[in-house]
Amino acid sequence: MKIKCDYCGNTYEDTLEKCPSCGGPNPSHKNDNRPKTIEELKIWYQERNLPAPEVTRFFIGTDYRQPKAFGIYKDDQGDFVVYKNKADGSRAIRYKGKGKKIELKTTFDPKNATNKEVTYKCSNKKIATIDKNGNVKGKTKGKVTITAITKDGKKTAKCTVIVK
How would residue 30 be classed by pLDDT, with cut points 50, 70 and 90? low
- Edge-first strand order for the sheet with 156-163 is 118-122, 142-150, 156-163
pLDDT digits (tens, 9 = 90+) for 121-149: 999 999 889 988 888 888 888 889 999 99
Label the pairing between strands 128-130 and 135-138.
antiparallel
How would residue 32 be classed by pLDDT, with cut points 50, 70 and 90? low
Cβ–Cβ < 8 Å for 34, 24: no
pLDDT for the residue numbered 123: 95
The three-state secondary structure class of 128 is strand
State the Cα–Cα distance between residues 46 and 123, nearest whole angstrom: 42
The domain limits of the chain are: 51-99, 101-163
State the Cα–Cα distance between residues 130 and 134, nearest whole angstrom: 6
CATH architecture of 101-163: Sandwich (2.60)
pLDDT for the residue numbered 87: 92
- Note if the bond before 110 is cis, omega within 30 degrees: yes
pLDDT digits (tens, 9 = 90+) for 98-117: 766 677 777 777 777 777 88
The three-state secondary structure class of 40 is helix
The DSSP string of 44-88 is HHHHTTPPPHHHH-EEES----SSSEEEEEE-TTS-EEEEEE-TT
Long-range contacts, 130-135 (Cβ 8 Å, 24+) = 130/104, 133/103, 134/103, 134/104, 134/105, 134/106, 135/101, 135/102, 135/103, 135/104
